[in-house]
Structure 1
């Protein structure tokens, strides 16, 4: 079924409280999504106390103004909107992902499944593409939802793409940069794959994560394993690299168990076996791997493939598919 996922321009030349004015058309969706996120925090009053530390010492004024605007068109306070935007850092054990990057003679292709349980299929049906621009030119595109200002999946056409995978370590969380805000910062300010790598490896962050980062050259595909302070960068000598929801390089003392960890190895091994058997040479071939019954979970809400050289995106959500051709032309 063909469906034109709506793409919205976020003009970074505007003041922060003016960049998201198009969201006024999505008040109902924003309220539904915020209610869904915040429902998971019922009774956890300590979260509201701790978020004040983020607001005072970590979150930039730019992002706080964007959050204030989202709040102004919703039924929720700015503190509640911020907490919803910090969902990954607070409840990362609810997320699952499978992602891979491959290199072929034409480009580097980056595929990922976003697995996240929500009621009423909210995250699938409200999926949108956000085109972040400066001086009329695209800096990057992210796949997200109305009211969520950070980035979990994004591409800087002709440079690199990145996706977030959840993981659990025994390291304590920190009052530090939220992961989704770091990824937006990286996409906004990094001009090369190497710049993006350095920022992801070195920035102190709030919690554990795995970042699949891929560029435009055959050797530019890595998984950066992170805890708030530690990192390990995993490379691959083959034409592909795979990541699910467990550490391969960082020594992990976590004894936590979840559906993500229980299925991580199986999804990893299945994706690797498929890639080893037949390396896809286009967006459609990568999407078929993401849809394999041994890779896709029953909580998968988004599936996407990026072509890093052309900026093309193949996005599937809510039983809809689209290949969105980018107007970027490499020099």
Structure 2
């Protein structure tokens, strides 16, 4: 049985479940498109807390203070995913058995220092090592996002994103919400990675996840990752890794290495363009130059083996570039067109409105904001500023 066949079978199963839920269980609201101008600042209760992770510590000790009280939250989240996996595979316990029994051995295949960091998280939370490992890889497959890099009229670059997560993962009929999305919101944190008491970079993470989806290296560059849907997707890469084909890198570990080691936008751009990965993705990069020959903002469209397109801000719009989860040269899925409303709101805001407040308003406008949105992150590279806010979408709201 080929890996490609297995990957396609899983994709078909997910689509079937999604359509089935939407037709039978979801309360589908009327479509709402809006451009709000009063969403910032959000309530203080929505502000995401910050933790320091000391990279000078041994890897197994770095996350203890962050996760020591988070074990029950992570466990509940994984139990939800296990339940969903069993339903997808007609009651089969294969995925659950792999997580519980084979996960510790799987950990041996992962690069350092990440393997030791996950061992430390397992010790601090009381979770099985296999569960911690799995918690750190499933973000490769279910992350549906909107990312924007924009230049204000003074030439300063801002980078903002919504992280939407939980599609297909447990529809709550009673509350009309996605179960995993609701479980993830309380786990959102800002992490200040430091060496010698100085910030190396800052990121927005889910507590217990050690990779990077949203980050800023102050004064140098910003980076976000959006999932790219592809028939040669992350499931195939995961199965190949399990079967011993390990030429590619985990996306979250690659981005972590980039944030720790890259000395600027151009070096980061080369690394995320050329490194082979287990899953396709979009990398959205912002730099610190907005004039001359090297205006720094781009979307890198990745196949697993390499980049297939590098789309620079100047050719996109001139003052901003925007990516959701579809190739910029193709049409979004009609059920998931967040791109067109986001462009509408950017045009409504104009370049004069580019700011932390302006971009937060764009990302708080439905359907860019939706039931899957866990947080909005807002970054300004020159000042090294990063803030993040939990997001909640009022009804009517999709999906679905």
Displacement of 1:55 in angstroms is 3.8
Distance verdict in 2 for CA 1:2–1:82, change over 3 Å: same
2:321 is matched with which residue? Answer: 241
1:84-233 to structure 2, matched below 5 A, reads 84-89=135-140, 92=141, 94-104=142-152, 105-117=154-166, 118-119=178-179, 121-171=182-232, 173-174=236-237, 175=241, 176-218=248-290, 219-231=295-307, 232-233=309-310
Q: Which moved more, 1:69-78 or 1:141-150?
A: 69-78
Distance verdict in 2 for CA 1:54–1:228, change over 3 Å: farther
**1:18-77: CA deviation from partner (whole Å, max 9, x where unpaired):** 1112022333333334434444444343855986786444x2131111111111133432
Matched, 1:282 2:342: no
Contact persistence 1:37–1:84 (CA under 8 A): no
1:271 is matched with which residue? Answer: 342
Distance verdict in 2 for CA 1:28–1:51, change over 3 Å: closer
Distance verdict in 2 for CA 1:217–1:291, change over 3 Å: same
1:327 is matched with which residue? Answer: none
**1:222-244: CA deviation from partner (whole Å, max 9, x where unpaired):** 00111211312111321000101
Q: Which entry has the higher C-alpha Rg, 1 or 2?
A: 2
Distance verdict in 2 for CA 1:177–1:276, change over 3 Å: same
Displacement of 1:314 in angstroms is 3.1
Displacement of 1:294 in angstroms is 3.3
Distance verdict in 2 for CA 1:318–1:242, change over 3 Å: closer
Separation of aligned partners in 2, 1:51 and 1:309: 41
Contact persistence 1:109–1:283 (CA under 8 A): yes
Separation of aligned partners in 1, 2:204 and 2:135: 17
Aligned residues: 307
Give SS of 2:255's match.
helix
Displacement of 1:130 in angstroms is 0.7
Displacement of 1:170 in angstroms is 2.6
Give SS of 1:301's match.
strand
Give SS of 2:258's match.
helix
Separation of aligned partners in 2, 1:155 and 1:187: 8
Separation of aligned partners in 1, 2:224 and 2:201: 13
Separation of aligned partners in 1, 2:132 and 2:108: 16
Give SS of 1:140's match.
strand
Structure 1 unaligned residues grouped into runs of 5+: 253-259, 320-331
Distance verdict in 2 for CA 1:132–1:38, change over 3 Å: farther
Structure 2 unaligned residues grouped into runs of 5+: 1-42, 87-92, 167-177, 242-247, 393-400
Contact persistence 1:130–1:144 (CA under 8 A): yes
Give SS of 1:310's match.
coil
Contact persistence 1:245–1:261 (CA under 8 A): no
Separation of aligned partners in 1, 2:223 and 2:81: 23
- Give the TM-score normalised by the residue count of structure 2: 0.71
Distance verdict in 2 for CA 1:202–1:26, change over 3 Å: same
- Give the TM-score normalised by the residue count of structure 1: 0.84
2:4 is matched with which residue? Answer: none
Distance verdict in 2 for CA 1:149–1:283, change over 3 Å: same
